[in-house]
Structure 1
Amino acid sequence: MNEQDYLPLAYLNAWEYCPRRFFLEYQLGEMADNEHIILGRHLHRNIDREGESQEGDTIVYRQQWVWSDRLLINGVIDAVEEREGELIPLEYKKGRMARH
């Protein structure tokens, strides 16, 4: 397997939000900025800095490369929290998560 066989993590959000959107973006390469994407980028700018910080007993690693050879996905996520030896991936999004 090479890296081109892996699905970029960003497309998982597109699939979860709307399978049609995933098809347009991933298969057809059609990506257009709209007001939500532009605002999301603006709000996200403070999290896009690499580094680590400690908040109490939790270490936060920002902008981390992650992958799964089993799931064939890879990409950069916003942060990983390390708490009591457990790693918790974090991804920040504008708005609320859908309830399925």
Structure 2
Amino acid sequence: MSKNMKNSLSLVTYNLSPSLEYIPIAALNQYAYCPHRCWRMFCAGEFSDNQYTIEGTSLHDRVHSTGDGQRGETWQIRAIWLKSEQYKLIGKSDLIEAESGQVYPVEYKRGRKGEWDNDELQVCAQALCLEEMTGQNIPTGYIYYAHSHQRQLVEINAELRQSAIATIKYVTNILKTGTMPKSVYSKRCTGCSLYSQCLPKATDKVKSYQEVN
């Protein structure tokens, strides 16, 4: 990475701050996991911790407290704000790296690779911000899973970009209208920290009872 690009990225990102005019990048991850959970967190302002969220917060705190600088041939900078005017996105990255002049985001997650694409969407959204901020094409990113101590390559291809842009539109609509997506029970619910507020199984039973009677 050139010295000018490094200084530009550092200065821009360190001066950013959250704004109600922008969509939190994390909201895309939550929506892709469960639209109802996204609404509860970002519209209703509800959040509860469980084992998984506490472990995740602890992991991010450790990552963000680690120093920046050069690691071999790779330049690293942590816990910086990313922003896109085009997509109205904002969020704090875990780690941005640059190697041989190529910049890419690295997102840290507590577990192992999941069955869904919500983490990949978050990395793609970070890449969209980085592209706008650096003028560079970002073809790849990574997810580091703490459980396996391995990185998963994320290809920022056309399909993933289209999915991220569509998700941005869905989240924007929820934030603007406040419309609550209905809760739908799935196996994802077992690890959700908001399950007790949502109770999708109970909701389905009540609905079935009302339809019968």
Tell me the TM-score normalized by structure 2: 0.43
**What is the identity, as a one-letter code, of the residue corresponding to 1:28?**
A
Is 1:86–2:88 an aligned residue pair? no
Unpaired runs of at least 5, structure 2? 1-18, 118-213
Inter-partner Cα distance in structure 2 for 1:59 and 1:98 = 31
Give the C-alpha shift of residue 82 in structure 1.
0.8
Which range moves more in the overlay, 40-49 or 79-88?
A: 40-49
Q: Give the deviation of 1:50 after TM superposition.
A: 6.1
Percent of matched pairs sharing the same residue: 34
More helix by share: 2
Q: Does 1:24 align with 2:47?
A: no
**What is the rounded CA distance, in whole Å, between the counterparts of 1:55 and 1:84 in structure 2?**
13
Match of 2:72 among 56, 59, 79: 56
Moved more, 62-71 or 12-21: 12-21
Are 2:76 and 2:96, in contact at CA under 8 Å, matched by a contact in 1? yes
Structure 1 window deviating more from structure 2 (69-78 vs 4-13): it is 4-13
Counterpart CA distance in 2 for 1:50 and 1:8 is: 23
Which 5+ residue runs of structure 1 have no aligned equivalent? none
**2:132 match:** none
Separation in 2 of the partners of 1:99 and 1:25?
A: 20
Letter in structure 2 aligned against 1:4:
L
Q: Secondary structure of the residue that 1:33 maps to in structure 2?
A: coil
Aligned residue identity for 1:64? I
Instruction: Pick from 11, 24, 36 the counterpart of residue 8 of structure 1.
Output: 24
Say yes or no: does 1:74 pair with 2:83. Answer: no
Give the CA RMSD over aligned residues.
1.7
Q: Which has the higher strand share?
A: 1
Match of 1:98 in 2: 115
Cα distance, 1:90 vs structure 2: 1.5
Q: SS at 2:29's partner residue?
A: helix
Q: Which amino acid aligns with 1:56?
A: G
